[in-house]
Amino acid sequence: GAVVSQHPSRVICKSGTSVKIECRSLDFQATTMFWYRQFPKQSLMLMATSNEGSKATYEQGVEKDKFLINHASLTLSTLTVASAHPEDSSFYICSASGGPGNTIYFGEGSWLTVV
């Protein structure tokens, strides 16, 4: 199956700093990428949808100035958490569509801890 890679898998940052998470589709061109966050024992919460070359569409309640999404190419999307705070600590997951059968494939996820 298609592969989506996220990096880093774990990151610890100080409160007030910014952190970037990358999402790459390794063997297909991802026309659309999705970013989610997931709290323990809860389901995925969609944060935003991005199409290559366009501005991301954010879900209601998600601060676009805090969660900056860039989908600069058909294989790379980045999520930057600006001025992170402890409440931003979470599991962030990306997914990408455009692969075989237009299935949506997920990255491995990134654990963000803000101290």
Partner 1 sequence: EDQVTQSPEALRLQEGESSSLNCSYTVSGLRGLFWYRQDPGKGPEFLFTLYSAGEEKEKERLKATLTKKESFLHITAPKPEDSATYLCAVYSSASKIIFGSGTRLSIRP
| Interaction site with partner 1 (CB under 8 A) | 1, 6, 32, 34, 42-44, 46, 49, 91, 93, 95, 97, 101-109, 111
DSSP state of 102: G
Q: Alpha-carbon distance 54 to 73, whole Å? A: 10
User: What minimum distance in Å lies between the beta carbon of 16 and partner 1?
Assistant: 26
User: What minimum distance in Å lies between the beta carbon of 74 and partner 1?
Assistant: 16
User: What minimum distance in Å lies between the beta carbon of 87 and partner 1?
Assistant: 20
Nearer CB in complex with partner 1: 29/83 = 29
Count other C-beta atoms under 10 Å from residue 111's C-beta.
13
Nearer CB in complex with partner 1: 23/114 = 23
Identify residue 40 by its one-letter amino acid code.
Answer: P
Q: Alpha-carbon distance 97 to 30, whole Å? A: 5
Nearer CB in complex with partner 1: 1/61 = 1
End-to-end Cα separation, the chain, in angstroms: 37
User: What minimum distance in Å lies between the beta carbon of 35 and partner 1?
Assistant: 11
Q: Alpha-carbon distance 16 to 102, whole Å? A: 38
